[in-house]
Structure 1
Amino acid sequence: MLSFLCRALPGAGLLLPFPYALLAQTADSTGAARRFELGVVEVIGRRDTDTVGFAQNRLTALDFTRHQRLEVGRALNLLPGVALASTGPRNESIVYLRGFDLRQIPVFLDGVPVYVPYDGYVDLARFTTADLAEIRVEKGFASLLYGPNALGGAINLVSRAPAKPLEYSAAAGTFSGRGANLSVNVGARRGKFYAQASAARLRQEYYPLSADFADTRREKGDRRDNADRADTRFSGKIGFQPRPGDEYTVGYAIQQGRKGQPVYTGADPAFSRPRVRYWRWPKWDKETVYFLSRTSQANGAAYFKTRVYFDRFANVLDAFDDSTYTSQARPFAFRSYYRAYTAGGSAEAGLTTLAGHTPRLAVHYKYDRHREWNRGEPPRQFADVTTSAALEDVWQLTSRWRLAAGLSYDWRASHGAQDYNSTTREITDFAANDNAAFNLQGGVFYTPTAVGQLRASAARKTRFATLKDRYSYRLGQALPNPDLRAETAQNYELGYTRTPGKAQLGVQASVFYSRLDDVIQQVNNVQGQLFQLQNTGRARYYGGEIALNQQLTSALRAEANYTYLRRENQTNPELRFIDTPAHKVFGSVQYAPWDRLSLLGSGEWNSDRYSTSGGLRVGGFAVFNASARLRLIEGLTLEGGVNNVLDRNYALFEGFPEAGCNFFVNLRYQSR
Structure 2
Amino acid sequence: ADLGSWHRIGFDLGLLYNPKRHMPGKINEIVSSSPRYRRYLDLHRWHTYLSHEWTTNSDLVITQSVGLDRSGDRYEEHNSDAYDDSSLTYESWIHTLMTTYNARADWLYSPAGTLSYGLGVEHRWNKRKDNRDYPDWSERKIFLSNTFLFNQYYLNAHWRTGMGLGLSNLWREDSDAENSRLNVEPSIGIYYQNQNGTDIGMSAAQNISHPTMRQLYSLGSGNPELRSQMAWKYEASFRSSLPFGIVPGSYYATAFLNDIADLIDRVRVDGVNTYVNVNKLITYGGECGLRIQPLGFWQCDLDFALLLYDKSSDYRLNNVAQNNVTLTNRFDLMPGMQLRLTSSWNDHRYSNVDRDVYILLPSYWKHDAAINFSRGRYTISAGVENLLDIDFEEEYAYPAAGFNYFIGLRADW
TM-score relative to the length of structure 2? 0.80
Equivalent positions of 1:438-587 (< 5 A) are 438-471=184-217, 474=220, 480-482=223-225, 484-499=226-241, 503-520=247-264, 535-553=277-295, 557-567=299-309, 570=312, 573=314, 575-587=315-327
One-letter code of the match for 2:294? Answer: L
Classify 1:406/1:502 alpha carbon distance in 2 versus 1 (closer, same or farther; 3 Å).
Answer: farther
Classify 1:569/1:322 alpha carbon distance in 2 versus 1 (closer, same or farther; 3 Å).
Answer: farther
Quote the residue 2:155 is aligned against: 397
Q: How many residues align?
A: 394
Quote the residue 2:59 is aligned against: 301
1:289 and 2:11 matched: no
One-letter code of the match for 2:327? Answer: G
1:342 and 2:98 matched: yes
Residue in structure 2 matching 1:620, options 357, 363, 367: 363
Quote the residue 1:310 is aligned against: 68
Quote the residue 1:95 is aligned against: none
CA distance in 1, matches of 2:316, 2:201: 32
One-letter code of the match for 2:124? Answer: D
CA distance in 1, matches of 2:227, 2:205: 19
Contact 1:492–1:513 (CA under 8 A) maintained in structure 2:
yes
CA distance in 1, matches of 2:301, 2:387: 20
Structure 2's unaligned 5+ residue stretches are: 373-380
Quote the residue 1:608 is aligned against: 348
Classify 1:396/1:306 alpha carbon distance in 2 versus 1 (closer, same or farther; 3 Å).
Answer: same
Residue in structure 2 matching 1:407, options 165, 181, 194: 165
1:369 and 2:125 matched: yes
Quote the residue 1:252 is aligned against: 13
Quote the residue 1:386 is aligned against: 144
CA distance in 1, matches of 2:406, 2:143: 47
Quote the residue 2:377 is aligned against: none
1:243 and 2:1 matched: no
Residue in structure 2 matching 1:319, options 77, 94, 103: 77
The one-character-per-residue Cα deviations of 1:350-402 (angstroms, maximum 9, x if unpaired) are 21242421111111122222222214811222122222111111101111111
One-letter code of the match for 2:114? Answer: T
CA distance in 2, matches of 1:651, 1:372: 31
One-letter code of the match for 1:515? Answer: D
Quote the residue 2:394 is aligned against: 652
Q: Following TM superposition, by how much is the alpha carbon of 1:535 offset from its aligned partner in structure 2, in angstroms?
A: 4.2
The one-character-per-residue Cα deviations of 1:81-104 (angstroms, maximum 9, x if unpaired) are xxxxxxxxxxxxxxxxxxxxxxxx
CA distance in 2, matches of 1:380, 1:576: 35
Quote the residue 2:112 is aligned against: 356
CA distance in 1, matches of 2:401, 2:326: 18
Contact 1:499–1:506 (CA under 8 A) maintained in structure 2:
yes
SS across alignment from 2:113: coil
Quote the residue 1:437 is aligned against: 183
One-letter code of the match for 1:407? Answer: L
CA distance in 1, matches of 2:87, 2:157: 72
CA distance in 1, matches of 2:169, 2:396: 38
Contact 2:349–2:363 (CA under 8 A) maintained in structure 1:
yes
Q: Following TM superposition, by how much is the alpha carbon of 1:270 offset from its aligned partner in structure 2, in angstroms?
A: 3.2
CA distance in 2, matches of 1:657, 1:524: 20
Contact 2:265–2:275 (CA under 8 A) maintained in structure 1:
yes
Contact 1:569–1:576 (CA under 8 A) maintained in structure 2:
no
CA distance in 2, matches of 1:451, 1:606: 32
Equivalent positions of 1:191-202 (< 5 A) are none
Q: Following TM superposition, by how much is the alpha carbon of 1:605 offset from its aligned partner in structure 2, in angstroms?
A: 2.0
The one-character-per-residue Cα deviations of 1:268-310 (angstroms, maximum 9, x if unpaired) are 553465742222211222222222111112x321122111222
CA distance in 1, matches of 2:13, 2:385: 34
Shifted more, 615-624 versus 450-459: the winner is 615-624
Contact 2:43–2:73 (CA under 8 A) maintained in structure 1:
yes
CA distance in 1, matches of 2:140, 2:396: 33
CA distance in 2, matches of 1:643, 1:401: 43
Classify 1:570/1:303 alpha carbon distance in 2 versus 1 (closer, same or farther; 3 Å).
Answer: same
Q: Following TM superposition, by how much is the alpha carbon of 1:650 offset from its aligned partner in structure 2, in angstroms?
A: 2.9
SS across alignment from 1:270: helix
SS across alignment from 2:72: strand
CA distance in 1, matches of 2:201, 2:81: 55
Q: Following TM superposition, by how much is the alpha carbon of 1:562 offset from its aligned partner in structure 2, in angstroms?
A: 1.0
SS across alignment from 1:361: strand
Between structures 1 and 2, the one with greater strand share: 2
RMSD over aligned Cα atoms: 4.1
Quote the residue 1:65 is aligned against: none
CA distance in 1, matches of 2:306, 2:214: 31
One-letter code of the match for 1:607? Answer: D
Q: Following TM superposition, by how much is the alpha carbon of 1:337 offset from its aligned partner in structure 2, in angstroms?
A: 1.3
Q: Following TM superposition, by how much is the alpha carbon of 1:503 offset from its aligned partner in structure 2, in angstroms?
A: 2.4
CA distance in 1, matches of 2:111, 2:218: 52
Classify 1:600/1:413 alpha carbon distance in 2 versus 1 (closer, same or farther; 3 Å).
Answer: closer
One-letter code of the match for 1:612? Answer: N
CA distance in 1, matches of 2:216, 2:383: 46
Classify 1:392/1:612 alpha carbon distance in 2 versus 1 (closer, same or farther; 3 Å).
Answer: same
Contact 1:545–1:563 (CA under 8 A) maintained in structure 2:
yes
CA distance in 1, matches of 2:211, 2:202: 29
One-letter code of the match for 1:393? Answer: N
One-letter code of the match for 2:322? Answer: A
The one-character-per-residue Cα deviations of 1:178-223 (angstroms, maximum 9, x if unpaired) are xxxxxxxxxxxxxxxxxxxxxxxxxxxxxxxxxxxxxxxxxxxxxx
